Chain A
Amino acid sequence: SQQGEEDPQALSIQEGENATMNCSYKTSINNLQWYRQNSGRGLVHLILIRSNEREKHSGRLRVTLDTSKKSSSLLITASRAADTASYFCATEGNQFYFGTGTSLTVIP
């Protein structure tokens, strides 16, 4: 089945910097979600944004959604070494899609 596209595929930043990841999708959606996966572990839900929302915050996370462009971004502010993980977007509509993921490395 088709998946969303995420960019960049990999991102390496210094601790304290902000990290931005983008996700594009192809169909109309009810909501979009972001997940985090630490190496060797399952995916953990971070935040959900509904199709009628444009921006949402949760702690150091900020998610935006542009349904006209079928895209979303995840911003992690003041990154920490512990944020090192892979981040996935997932969309829910008539079908369920997962993105290909962005591998984030935060260098202490």
Chain B
Amino acid sequence: DAGVIQSPRHEVTEMGQEVTLRCKPISGHDYLFWYRQTMMRGLELLIYFNNNVPIDDSGMPEDRFSAKMPNASFSTLKIQPSEPRDSAVYFCASTRRGSYTFGSGTRLTVV
């Protein structure tokens, strides 16, 4: 198994641009999570899905953030418009009740 796959690994964009982060979970995992990690705030849960349905999006910072999971093998996290304070590492993780498997993360820099 290739594990949880995230793309891109690095993204540098200008303030105001739309950013789309992608995640492919492990086949058979029915939970998918999006986390954001910064030095100041640590690891924050943004949203998680169960069987492609968003369950808890209370961690999504504001309306500029949206996440979708159109099928069991793909999810996106979109930021529109992006701001410098969105700069962070964004992780995707999946699980089928038990241990999480994390992707390698997307390092986002908004200038």
Which A residues lie at the B interface, using CB under 8 A?
Answer: 1, 3, 30-31, 33, 35, 41-45, 48, 88, 90, 92, 95-98, 100-101
Contacts and interface: CB of A to CB of B under 8 A. Distances in A.
Main secondary structure on chain B at its contact with chain A? Answer: strand
Given A42-B91, A42-B105, A98-B43, A90 B59 contact: no
Contact of A96 (B44, B48, B91, B102): B48
Contacts, number: 48
Contacts of A95: 56
Contacts of B100: 33, 35, 43, 45, 90
A79 B23 CA distance: 35
A29 B21 CA distance: 31
Given A42-B104, A42-B105, A101 B99 contact: no
Contacts of A88: 43
